[in-house]
Chain A
Amino acid sequence: MTKKLFVLMGLLVLAGLILAGCGAPKAECTDAIGCVEVKSGEPIHIAYAMVISGPDATLGTDSRNGAEIAMDEKGGKLLGHDIKFDGEDDQCSAEGGQAAGTKLAADPTIVAVIGTSCSSAVRVAMPLWSAAGFTVISASNTAPDLTLAGNENQHPGYLRTAHSDVVQGAAAARFAWEKLGVKKAATIHDGSIYADSLQQVFVDEFTKLGGTITAQESVSPDQTDMSGVLTSIAAGAPELIYHPIFIAAGTQLILQGRQTVGLENTYQMGADGMFSPDVMEGAGDAVEGVFVSSPDFTQFGPDYEAKFKPAYAAKFGSEPVSIFHAHAYDAFNMIYACVEKVAQGDKEGGDMLIGRQAMRDCMYGTKDFKGLTGNLTCTPTGDCADPKIAVYQYHVGEYPPEKIWP
């Protein structure tokens, strides 16, 4: 008797489960790696991971500002949903990348991530985000290996609107050789992949042109006393020191380089990581004559001067404080365009599904996208930049620095 009852109960429970399963019919997710479900009234979540504190904070806040301008232009709405734009601090370090990476990867509502600011951070965070199915597009990662096919640091789902340093380092070397007529150069990096790969590209290109490298030194990112490294560089008597590092240590190098015996008149050159008013403020008078390479703002589209900069000034009350704001603006708009294209379901603000693989495919397929930084076309490994590099020179009390090459 009891046995029969059990069987009956069991059958009832089973039937109940089946019936419950056949509730309201829903759009099925057919995407290979899953979907983001956006219900009516819920926001579409785009996250950022950028350096927004510490000495390199201008780099990240500037990019975030750029993306916010893009969002404001769209009225903060996408397919009838609000856009939720929030994020984490990548601290411009591997540790920060780990923290921000883990935190964001745990949030299934995220459709895409704009970030990180620094290559060191994305190297750690990207495996997590790639596994979580995110589409990630960085506005300022420039380390070459991130988009180099068949490389352990190149992950599916990663793209960037920033130039690869293969372009930037080579441009710096050509500038030193052709424009300055320098024959002997030394490099300093800070152990970050950004600086290390940049100086290596510089070294390769400079030696190919016929120059001599007297030293390839390094400092740590938070080092303040540079006397040892500068003395050891002075021993080789280079005519130019290339230090493509970040603001904190870079400023100390500029300051102390001017005081080192044998380097008083040596040219100093940094890269885009040191294109910031903080360098001017930190280095004081010593900043006079220091070169930095950076994207060429004069070749940006006409909207940059006419629309973007006024909007930036109106919202944040200043000129752009670093250099990757336009890249972040373009990154945001690329995501926007792709969400518009791949979202399924009610596109008037109702329930929607966004396929994660479809999103990635759409981003990689970006072709001739008219952005502020140029016409962007993505390669299969995610290099979307239209790189135009220029060299600028700092003068005391003048920001932004003066463009001198090409």
Chain B
Amino acid sequence: MLKRWRQRVTITDIVVWAIGLAIGIAVIYGTIVTWRRAEYTPQQWISLTISGLKLGGIYALIALGYTLVYGILRMINFAHSEVFMSGPFTAVFLAMYLDKIGFYNTYPLISLILVTLLSAAVSVTVALLLERIAYRRLRYAPRLVPLITAIGASFFLQYTFRGLYGNDPETYPTLDVLKGVWMLGPIPVPKTDLVVIVSAFIMMLILYLIVQKTKTGKAMRSVSEDKEAAALMGINVDRIIVFTFGMGGASAGVAGILYALVFSQVHYFMGFIPGLKAFTAAVLGGIGNVVGAWLGGTLLGLIESLGPNLFLSGLGIPAANQLKDGIAFTILVLILIFRPTGLLGERISKTKA
């Protein structure tokens, strides 16, 4: 018994577990120290949580694009961050125009819907073009090939949009109705944050229902199970794949507008970091799993937002907030080491993997 155990466990395993344990202890210790010091008021923790949920919602929507495509094609669409960028970076010009003619603040709801529709339309178009031009021919190529293509496509899109709209960041005009806070009981919640959290959740719900309850959704799930069998059952695989890319694009376009509501500025390179974070979220939740994308996004947003103040400052690290990206990517590495299938990861059978 002991011998078998000794054969199975390698030195690498022990080192990896030791690192994991050390990080775990550091996190718990830091949290306890911060808790004891009571540096922040409960209200501040709540506002950090709200900001975490807001970020999480945006991450989740982007993560959905990674997850859906992975579920069906078993490839990581690294150009998805540019699908996310293309929408809001185009729609900003509509928003600026509407603001100039005074429409934006007079009819905020209609304006937002128009801007969101344009953003989603552009993102969908870019996603579909990507699929048609860059990926379709490579569907049966070795897995590394579409991955490298995706990275190339990502650069191509970034610099195309830079060429189209220029280097400089563009700014979304502020909506007067979204200024200030709403009081939820004693807790002040910035209006923008609440709008973002709620819209992200609704969007996720819609997409989830499409995947789970509609006929197309069912077809998507069967294509993801087995392409050949699905084709034999009379499912048009090409059309389902196009639909999947479209859905990912739409959610990225909406996420882009939510991002722009929060951070105002958009530029050609804006997709890079959120894209990486959303990829982390997708892996964290279990790539290929829609609920996992939501869970991973929300968790990542919360950890990023609470983490630096919760455990890093407790450990006595100066200027802890600079390390929030570090936290996100540490999580990615840890997940890949300890649970490569993610929190809700499906068990990938040999034929699918």
State the CA gap A259–B174 with chains docked (Å).
13
Contact between A261 and B309 (Cβ–Cβ < 8 Å)?
Answer: no
The smallest C-beta distance from A381 to any residue of chain B, in angstroms, reads 30
Contact between A220 and B325 (Cβ–Cβ < 8 Å)?
Answer: yes
**Contact residues of A: prevailing secondary structure:** mixed
Per-residue CB proximity of A249-260 to B under 8 Å, as 1/0? Answer: 001100100011
Contact of A235 among B40, B190, B306, B321 (CB under 8 A): B40
A265 cross-chain contacts in B, Cβ below 8 A: none
Is the C-beta of A281 less than 8 angstroms from some C-beta in chain B?
yes
Stretch at the interface among A148-156, A162-170, A222-230, A385-393: A222-230
A53 cross-chain contacts in B, Cβ below 8 A: 167
The winner among A231, A261, A281, A285 for most chain B CB atoms within 10 A is: A231
Is the C-beta of B195 less than 8 angstroms from some C-beta in chain A?
no
Would A57 and B168 be within 8 Å (CB), given that A216-B318, A232-B313 are in contact? yes
The smallest C-beta distance from A168 to any residue of chain B, in angstroms, reads 21
Is the C-beta of B273 less than 8 angstroms from some C-beta in chain A?
yes
Contact between B169 and A259 (Cβ–Cβ < 8 Å)?
Answer: no
B264 cross-chain contacts in A, Cβ below 8 A: 251, 255, 282, 284
Is the C-beta of B171 less than 8 angstroms from some C-beta in chain A?
yes
Residue ID in chain A nearest B272 by CB atoms: A222
Contact between A284 and B44 (Cβ–Cβ < 8 Å)?
Answer: no
Would A55 and B48 be within 8 Å (CB), given that A218-B319, A228-B321, A235-B40 are in contact? no
Is the C-beta of B43 less than 8 angstroms from some C-beta in chain A?
yes
Contact between B39 and A235 (Cβ–Cβ < 8 Å)?
Answer: yes
Interface size class of B (residues with CB under 8 A): 35 or more
Contact between A251 and B265 (Cβ–Cβ < 8 Å)?
Answer: yes
Would A282 and B188 be within 8 Å (CB), given that A216-B318, A235-B44 are in contact? no
State the CA gap A242–B201 with chains docked (Å).
37
User: Which B residues form the contact surface with A (CB < 8 A)?
Assistant: 39-41, 43-44, 47-48, 51, 55, 167-169, 171, 173-174, 181, 188, 190, 192, 262-265, 267, 269, 273, 304-306, 308-309, 313, 318-322, 324-325
25 A-B pairs with C-beta separation under 8 A: A55-B169, A189-B319, A217-B319, A218-B322, A219-B321, A220-B322, A224-B265, A224-B273, A225-B262, A225-B324, A227-B47, A228-B51, A228-B321, A228-B324, A231-B44, A232-B313, A235-B39, A235-B40, A248-B265, A252-B263, A252-B265, A255-B264, A261-B43, A278-B169, A282-B265
User: Which A residues form the contact surface with B (CB < 8 A)?
Assistant: 53-55, 57, 189, 191, 216-220, 222-225, 227-229, 231-232, 234-235, 248, 251-252, 255, 259-262, 278, 281-282, 284-285
